[in-house]
Amino acid sequence: MKMSRNRTVWILAISLASLLAGAVLAFEAWHADRIYPGVRVGGVPLGGKRPAEAAALLQERLGAPEHPPILLRGPDRSWTARPVDLGFSLAAEETAWMAFQAGRGSDDTILDHLRLLLQGYDLDPLLSFDPSQARLYLRTLAEQIDLPPVDADLRLEGGTVVMTPARTGRMLDVEASVAAVQAAMGGTPGEGVEVTLVVRELPPQVTEAEEARTYAESLLSQPFALVLSAPREGDPGPWFLSPEELATMLQVQPVDGRLQVVPDESAWRAYLESLAPALAIEPVDARFHFDEATGQLVPIAPSAEGRALDVEASLQNVLHALEEGQHAAPLALRAVPPRYPDTATAEELGIRELVAEGDSYFIGSPSGRDHNIRLAASKFDGIVIPPGGIFSFNHYLGEVSAEAGYDEAYITAGEQLAIEVGGGICQVSTTAFRAALWGGYPIVERWYHHHRVGYYELMGYGPGFDATIYSPQVDFKFRNDRDAALLIETEIEDDAHRLIFRFYSTDDGREVKVEGPVITDETEPGPPIYQLDESMEPGTVVQWQSAQNGLTATVERWVYDAAGNLLYHDLFVSRYAPRRAVYRYGPGYQPP
């Protein structure tokens, strides 16, 4: 009996073991592709789920999890950001696979699987990270973090120096900060995650301005003077630039990270050039007569050296003075030699013979007109025109005024004669024109008179051989087109009241042919003009101005070289207006 009972127990034990083994085998077989019971992710039970099913469940339950925020620490403030804003999201498939691996280690046994079932096993969900989302978020923070560096600055406001110190800037290093965020999370949304953002310093390019400020304040502490080292009586200057003016002629420039105050060379050059005219003294050429007997030049007026401001040398003086912190600089002057010193010889200048002559007569001229002709003619006696040079009548004539010694005399002004200082000078320009005309020189500028002038038509000259001037607008000019210099001599034959211009140079064999004048378009003047003169005797009348026809006079000139080739062909057309007679009468006279 006892043996029967033991056999029964044994059979039961074997049966139970078989059942248990079968159950274990069935359990393991069932979970061969399923997550073991007791495994949870973020509180979501996943036991019995295949990985794909678990991933879908996790996506449904934890797709937008409220993970703890991340603290982002900046240089002077902090921000809290949701992980999702920084590019973190649930890695559902990876998390499900991690849950599936629970209990499947190489050393795990059925007991470990039972322990999972009985005790449970919680896992944190895995997160995926999108760095582009993190970059986008951090770039918005950069707008609040970034500060541009500020260079040291120095401004010259009037005579005041204003300095701004340098300031270091900063810039959020987005890429380094993205890496720091990723490293701090470690792939899981843990509690209390803090990230110190990576911020780089941006040093300014210009850091130092104090030395420049001190230098500028010293320069602007008083006016700056420009002086002549050896001034002559009557010289202008000195010139003082106030601190405000001086400030406009200085520049602030960065050099190797430091500010420097330097002169504005272009401004100084322009300022010095503005002083040049007041300091310039034109050299004076000697004047000569040509001794036809000896063929030599005889000086009749000495030459004189001129001077000019040496702008570049003066600029260097200014730059040196400013560099040394001085408040004055000398101006540099240079000598300007005359083109024709009184030592010049006829051989050097190519003056060998008389090449042209022009004349006019002023018999019967009133004393004022006679005086003016003589004075004006003296201005041209002995002058030398260089080869290729332009003769300007007004240039050599100079100022026409009572202070210059001229008297009042009649001039042509509109329809009636008028009295003005310098009347009669056109007699001289007319004579110069005739010499240039017969000498074959190219005429650059010539104006005819408004009306015919009887003085200019004496001794065989007809209308059209005159040249009027009215300084400075109306001039007479011709060019010395010969290879040799041109010497002009003037002479007045007192007995004949004849003015002569003689041109001396080298005869190049040119031939001059002049025809005319050809008279056309004659017009008669209108009726006489009568003017009341209260100072005249009652009932008297005198003729003040004679009537004169208007006409057009054409003078034609051909100039040929020594070989017979035509050099110039000129038409000098003068259109003279008619002039009415003018009568003055006393009270009581009845004009017709």
pLDDT, residue 9, reads 65
d(Cα 199, Cα 492) in Å, to the nearest integer? 98
Give the pairing type, strands 550-560 and 121-123. unpaired
Reported as half-sphere exposure (CB side, CA atoms, 13 A), residue 291 has a value of 10
Residue 378: closest CA among 327, 425, 342: 425
User: What DSSP assignment string belongs to 65-87?
Assistant: --PPPEEEE-SS-EEEE-GGGGT
**Residue 516: which region, alpha, beta or left (left: phi > 0; alpha: psi -120 to 50)?**
left
How many Cβ atoms from other residues are within 10 Å of residue 418's Cβ?
11
How many Cβ atoms from other residues are within 10 Å of residue 457's Cβ?
17
- On whether the CB atoms of residues 514 and 437 are closer than 8 A, the answer is yes
* Phi and psi at residue 32, to the nearest 5°: -60, -35
d(Cα 400, Cα 246) in Å, to the nearest integer? 41
Residue 381: closest CA among 370, 373, 389, 390: 373
Handedness of CA 13, 16, 21, 24 (dihedral sign): negative
Report the C-alpha dihedral over residues 189, 191, 196, 197, rounded to 10 degrees. 30
Tokens 């069932």 locate to 30
pLDDT, residue 20, reads 65
pLDDT, residue 157, reads 86
Q: Where in the chain is the domain with CATH 3.10.20.800?
A: 210-284+291-336
Residue 437: closest CA among 547, 331, 520, 556: 556
- Amino acid of residue 244: E
103-142 b/e (C-beta count within 10 Å ≥ 16 → b): beeeeeeeebbbbbbeeebebebbbebebebbbebbeebb
26-53 b/e (C-beta count within 10 Å ≥ 16 → b): ebeeebeebbbbbbbbbebbbbebebee
- On whether the CB atoms of residues 155 and 210 are closer than 8 A, the answer is no
**pLDDT in tens for each of the 592 residues of the chain?**
555 666 776 767 676 766 766 666 777 777 778 888 888 887 889 777 888 887 787 777 776 556 688 899 989 999 998 888 888 777 778 777 887 888 787 787 777 677 777 787 888 787 778 889 889 998 999 899 999 999 889 898 888 989 899 999 999 999 998 999 888 877 455 567 899 999 999 999 998 989 989 998 999 999 999 999 888 888 998 999 999 999 999 999 999 989 999 999 999 999 999 999 999 999 999 999 999 999 999 999 999 999 999 999 999 999 999 999 999 999 999 999 999 999 999 999 999 999 999 999 988 888 888 998 999 999 999 999 999 999 999 999 999 888 988 887 666 666 656 677 667 899 999 999 999 999 999 999 999 998 888 778 877 788 999 999 988 889 999 999 999 999 999 999 999 899 999 999 999 999 999 999 999 999 999 999 998 989 989 989 999 888 989 999 999 999 999 999 999 999 999 999 999 999 999 998 888 8
d(Cα 274, Cα 254) in Å, to the nearest integer? 30
Q: In whole angstroms, how far apart are CA 507 and each of 6, 85, 351, 511? A: 167, 102, 9, 10
pLDDT, residue 421, reads 67
pLDDT, residue 404, reads 86
Q: In whole angstroms, how far apart are CA 330 and each of 92, 223, 241, 335? A: 88, 15, 14, 16
Q: In whole angstroms, how far apart are CA 510 and each of 21, 145, 465, 483, 516? A: 144, 90, 21, 13, 20
Query: Does domain 210-284+291-336 match CATH 3.10.20.800?
Result: yes
Residue 72: closest CA among 172, 153, 203: 172
Is 191 exposed, middle or buried (CB count within 10 Å of its CB: 0-12, 13-18, 19+)? exposed
The pTM is what? 0.65
- On whether the CB atoms of residues 170 and 199 are closer than 8 A, the answer is yes
HEC-encoded secondary structure of 147-173? ECCECCEEEEECCEEEEECCECEEEEC
pLDDT, residue 414, reads 61
d(Cα 121, Cα 103) in Å, to the nearest integer? 10
- On whether the CB atoms of residues 56 and 94 are closer than 8 A, the answer is no
